[in-house]
Amino acid sequence: MLRRTTLKLALTGAVLLTAGSPRLILAAVETGSHGSLRVWSVAKGGYVMTDKIIKTAEEWRQQLTPEQYHVTREQGTERAFSGIYANHHGDGVYRCVCCGQDLFDSHAKYDSGTGWPSYTEPVAAENIATAEDRSFFSVRTEVLCSRCDAHLGHVFPDGPKPTGLRYCMNSAALSFVDRDRL
């Protein structure tokens, strides 16, 4: 089982060690001495402190469906237009399927035509982390949940205004909560 360890750096980054090879985390992650994180809660309308989640591969397998496990723990990708949130238009919040952390507000969702749910921005920069992804003979920016390191998808610089970003996520990495149930 590969364990991921997060090291705090002096500036706004951290190095994620995965099987001995470092991956640079580009988003700021505030890590306390006990693995606590400061993240945005949509329900509370402000920042809250929460603990980093680390589980074994077997614990994740017991919690997730095979597709969810493949996407979030093995950096997989679901087929375009196959995910339940690709054409979803509900009003609410998309959360990490692994740990329940708030990730994207439905107000930031748009139809990118790619077949994957796409967003212009996360609910807060602290709720996600990014890493360089050099798979498939290209360099992309991987998006991860900052709380449990789940692979969510990728971010591209071809989105609409005001951010110009397209957070292209896998439905299998997300769950949805209606705004009136927050």
Which amino acid is it at 95? R
Contact criterion met (CB below 8 Å) for 29 and 40: no
Is 148 noted as a catalytic residue in this protein?
no
Report the distance separating Cα 109 and Cα 133, nearest Å: 23
Report the distance separating Cα 145 and Cα 89, nearest Å: 22
Report the distance separating Cα 140 and Cα 167, nearest Å: 12
Instruction: Tell me the DSSP string of 58-75.
Output: HHHHHHS-HHHHHHHHS-
Catalytic positions, please? 168
